Structures are given as C-alpha cells and as structure tokens.
Amino acid sequence: MHPALYSTDEIRRIEREYARTHKTRPLMELAGHSVAKVALALLKARKSKDRNVLVLAGPGNNGGDAWVAADRLRQAKCRVTVLALGEAESADAAAKRAQQAYRKALGSPPQRWSERRRSPAHCDLILDGLFGIGLTRAPSGAYANVIRGVNALHRERDVPVLAIDVRAVSTR
C-alpha cells in the first residue's frame, strides 16, 4: 500500500479551507466532475465502446461525489447504473442535492444493491463512492458483500475500479 499524501485531519483542514474560500463552487461538484473526467479517460484508454459504468454510491459525502460523477458520465453518453447503499437520503445537504439532481435527470430512482441478485452482466468500469476519509472500521454486512462482489469483478473480468477518495478498502 502506498503511503498517504495527506492525513485524514489534513484533508479535513484542506476541505474546510476550500469551502471557506470557494463559496460559489462546492467541493463535491469539483470532485465529482474530476472523477468523471478520470473515468472517461480510463474508458478511452481501455477502448471501451459501450462505456458501461457501475457507480456505487454510499450514504455520505463520498456518495455525493459519486452522484455528481454519475450525472456527468450520463451527460457524456455513458451507460450508467447507480447502485445506492445505505440511507436513501444522505444527511449532508450537498450530497442530497447531488442525488436529487441525478434522479431528476434520470427520471427514475437508482437501483438498490439488495434488488440485484447477482453482479452486473457487463460493466467496463466500476466507480466506488462507498466510503471516504471518515471510514474508521472494516465494512460489514451489505457493504462487505458489495466490496467482495466488486473485488471479484475486478479479479475475474479485469474490470477497473476507480475509488473516489484516499482509501482503498478490501474484505476477504
């Protein structure tokens, strides 16, 4: 594992400073757009014709970043499937707005992981927006099951996983 560039406390300080000095463009919007840009570059490098993207959106700010990225990828004509985990509505106002904007543009709610019996038949990229810097314990329950499923897709089908944030989480 590579050493962190910044500690969790340092990232939180950077985020607070950004919010204080950039009131017109929320950090979540910037993060989501940047993630979508990287995702599109990965799809292009892999020469993915279908551009099927599985987006995993958790209940917090990291999930909000995922909602913004999903909307941006949808606008770029990718086939986006969002699987929402956790509470239907995030406690964070910016994450709620990102989720609502995606739902409004899509016209239908995203799928819940529990509604899916198996992994997707085909995806070209997985965008992991489950947890961010606030995660302090090993994932359990449905989260652990989803992570195991994503790891299997990565291992068995060589599907790349783009994680939003600084932590990579694995369960065995």
Task: Delineate the domains of the chain, giving CATH numbers in brackets.
Answer: 8-163 (3.40.50.10260)
Assess whether pLDDT exceeds 50 at residue 122.
Answer: yes
Residue 66's Cα: distance from chain center in Å? 4
Distances (CA, A) of 53 to 20, 76, 142, 170: 33, 12, 20, 20
> Which has the closest alpha carbon to 144: 121, 116, 113?
113
The terminus-to-terminus CA distance of the chain in angstroms comes to 16
User: pLDDT tens-digit profile of 154-167?
Assistant: 888 888 999 887 54
Confidence of residue 168 (pLDDT cuts 50, 70, 90): very low
Average pLDDT rounded to a whole number, residues 15-40:
87
Tokens of 7: 């500690």
Residue 3 is predicted with a pLDDT of 54
> Which has the closest alpha carbon to 123: 168, 77, 154?
154
Average pLDDT rounded to a whole number, residues 20-38:
87
Tokens of 112: 């819940």
Q: Which residue has the higher pLDDT, 18 or 169?
A: 18
Whether 63 contacts 55, CB under 8 Å? no
DSSP state of 127: E
> Which has the closest alpha carbon to 130: 76, 102, 171?
171
Q: 58 by DSSP, 3-state: which?
A: coil
Average pLDDT, the chain: 80
| Angle (CA) 35 52 108, round 5° | 85
Residue 151 is predicted with a pLDDT of 87
Whether 74 contacts 40, CB under 8 Å? no
Predicted TM-score of the model (pTM): 0.81
